[in-house]
Structure 1
Amino acid sequence: MGAIDFTLSGNVATLTIQSPPANALSSTLLNALSEKLDLIEKEEKVKAIVLKGEGRFFSAGADIKEFTSLQEASDYQSLAEFGQELFDRIEHFSVPVIAAIHGAALGGGMELALACHIRIATENAKLGLPELTLGIIPGFAGTQRLPQYVGTAKAYEMILTGEPITAKEAYQYGLVNQVVSEEEVFEVATTLATKIASKSKPTINRIMQLVPYAKSENFASGVKEEAKAFGEIFGSQDAKEGVLAFIEKRKPNFIDK
């Protein structure tokens, strides 16, 4: 079971995972997350999202009890494909999603965090993919996204041992952007989201489209699209205002705030 709480403050949306005690990612909760993303897409004012967990954890993983209710290999495959599609949607969302990670991001919770664009973790946070300790494997694209951040060798070690890493180690590997106290994590994530949300939304949207090219093998297409977007953006009123404000040494007043 579980739910996703949605709040909106200015141009920043906050999504809170509410599935005690471990914020397990059941199919019901994943559906709720998808529905909230639908809602956010209709809210034109949203420029950044903070994703956090309620209670002790960000998310300690998928709902293992739900696994026991599945019968056929095709059922498990369908669940994995649904999770993969949802997390891919997050990775390619039109505005940045910032994960505020406390306690633990394990298994499916780790895979959800990996799909986010920026990760802020608490000093006591643990991050990992422990599925092999249960005799199963990651199913929400963890085997594909983790190597992009920590490298192939470290990804093999983490997945094959099932042992989590600390927030400090995650920072050293570039997996998280900042490590802060548990009291600060939501505030830091929200402050960062607010800073991003002060920018022009069309510009944010284009950046969100361009950066994923760097993760693919199609680098040439990525730089071509970047040049095209560069030209398009420079023809906008926000770009003209931004350049003029820089010259005049003042804060820009973007139309699209």
Structure 2
Amino acid sequence: MSAAAETQAETAGAVPSLAVEGARATIRLNRPRHMNRIEPDDIPVLLRLLDTVDSTQPVRVLVLTGTGRAFSAGYHLGDLADQTEGGGSDAGVPSFEALTVRLEACRVPTICRLNGGVYGGSTDLALACDFRIGHTGIEMFMPAGRLGVHYYEAGMRRYVSRLGLNAAKRLFLTAERVDAAEMLRIGYLTELAPPEELDARVDALAERIAEMAPLAVQGMKRALDEIARGELDRVMLEARQAACGESEDLKEGLRAFREKRKPVFQGR
């Protein structure tokens, strides 16, 4: 098989995939030969998968990960170059920024399982998740300044709100490569694990979240993200608080506390 044919065959089977097991959903990037770079055609697929997660009520937590040695090399630079030379973007294809905004708005808490290095736009894709767990061999790199790319607003807001202004300036304005220990220190990683413990740490966090009261957890996730953006919708916040106050989950949580047992929440 020629190199072109091999690339075509790989691309045909390289779209992101979704697996649902009970309360946990997993979206996986499947282009390891190219370090799981995000192609333009991947964006509508990922948006549909996120819609599926949101509409599947038993799902209470989403894990986003990659296949192979990298989490993701970010948005395909070849496509970015074509857009620049052609003077425009791909007609009808949602932007990478739209994907990150949609991921941040996912109904359920999200965990990014950083199986390897995270580069370019995918550093923001991971930041759009609620938690990031990586292993000691990973690194991150934001090359926008080195490439002459002015980054989009939503991504810069996420960097500043999650990492602070100093760290955001350091990463955007110097294009410095940062190792796993430093990623943890600046708050990019929620948790750092030895490579052999990565899956166990991700599983433990996913299971813990799945055991929480979903109405309360999902409502607080939304409120916290709105507060971080300075866009808190107080009317909707009060409506969610009222719904939790009248929920069967609250009654179950209080019963379980009195009976010294683990609660079993139904999300209603």
Instruction: Using structure 2 for the length normalisation, give the TM-score.
Output: 0.86
Q: Deviations over 1:184-223 (max 9, x none)?
A: 223321221121112232223212221112213356x55x
Residue 199 of structure 1 is matched in structure 2 by 212
Please state how far the C-alpha of 1:139 moved relative to its aligned partner. 4.0
Secondary structure of 2:182 counterpart: helix
Q: Deviations over 1:18-38 (max 9, x none)?
A: 112211011112222112112
Which of 89, 95, 115 aligns to 2:128? It is 115
Residue 7 of structure 1 is matched in structure 2 by 19
**Aligned amino acid, residue 97 of structure 1:** T
**Aligned amino acid, residue 18 of structure 1:** N
Count of residue pairs brought into register by the alignment: 254
Could you tell me how far apart the structure 2 residues matched to 1:27 and 1:107 are?
Answer: 15
Question: Which aligned pairs between 1:188-227 and structure 2 lie closer than 5 A?
Answer: 188-218=201-231, 221-222=233-234, 226-227=237-238
Residue 244 of structure 1 is matched in structure 2 by 255
Could you tell me how far apart the structure 2 residues matched to 1:140 and 1:50 are?
Answer: 25
Please state how far the C-alpha of 1:6 moved relative to its aligned partner. 1.3
1:177 aligns with 2:195: no
Could you tell me how far apart the structure 2 residues matched to 1:72 and 1:88 are?
Answer: 26
Could you tell me how far apart the structure 2 residues matched to 1:68 and 1:200 are?
Answer: 46
Could you tell me how far apart the structure 2 residues matched to 1:77 and 1:148 are?
Answer: 31
Please state how far the C-alpha of 1:98 moved relative to its aligned partner. 0.4
Which of 149, 152, 161 aligns to 1:148? It is 161
Question: Which aligned pairs between 1:95-134 and structure 2 lie closer than 5 A?
Answer: 95-134=108-147
**Aligned amino acid, residue 54 of structure 1:** T
Report the identity percentage.
26
Structure 2: unaligned runs, 5 residues or longer: 1-10
Could you tell me how far apart the structure 2 residues matched to 1:195 and 1:244 are?
Answer: 19
Could you tell me how far apart the structure 1 residues matched to 2:264 and 2:74 are?
Answer: 43
Larger relative contact order (Cα-Cα within 8 Å, sequence gap ≥ 6): 1
**Aligned amino acid, residue 88 of structure 2:** S
Given that 2:73 and 2:120 are in contact with CA atoms closer than 8 Å, whether structure 1 keeps it comes out as: yes
Given that 1:50 and 1:190 are in contact with CA atoms closer than 8 Å, whether structure 2 keeps it comes out as: no
Given that 2:75 and 2:96 are in contact with CA atoms closer than 8 Å, whether structure 1 keeps it comes out as: no
Residue 17 of structure 1 is matched in structure 2 by 29
Q: What is the aligned-residue RMSD (CA, Å)?
A: 2.3
Which of 33, 44, 59 aligns to 1:31? It is 44
**Aligned amino acid, residue 165 of structure 2:** T
Could you tell me how far apart the structure 1 residues matched to 2:120 and 2:92 are?
Answer: 18
Which of 186, 196, 205 aligns to 2:199? It is 186
Structure 1: unaligned runs, 5 residues or longer: none
Could you tell me how far apart the structure 2 residues matched to 1:46 and 1:194 are?
Answer: 12
Residues 249, 180 of structure 1: alpha-carbon distance in 2 compared, 3 angstrom cutoff: same
Given that 1:129 and 1:138 are in contact with CA atoms closer than 8 Å, whether structure 2 keeps it comes out as: no
Q: Which moved more, 1:8-17 or 1:140-149?
A: 140-149
Secondary structure of 2:176 counterpart: coil
Could you tell me how far apart the structure 2 residues matched to 1:61 and 1:216 are?
Answer: 23
Please state how far the C-alpha of 1:154 moved relative to its aligned partner. 2.2
1:253 aligns with 2:250: no
Q: Deviations over 1:87-137 (max 9, x none)?
A: 111111110110011321110110100111111011111123112222323
Could you tell me how far apart the structure 2 residues matched to 1:72 and 1:156 are?
Answer: 30
Could you tell me how far apart the structure 2 residues matched to 1:49 and 1:160 are?
Answer: 32
Residue 58 of structure 2 is matched in structure 1 by 45
Given that 1:103 and 1:122 are in contact with CA atoms closer than 8 Å, whether structure 2 keeps it comes out as: yes
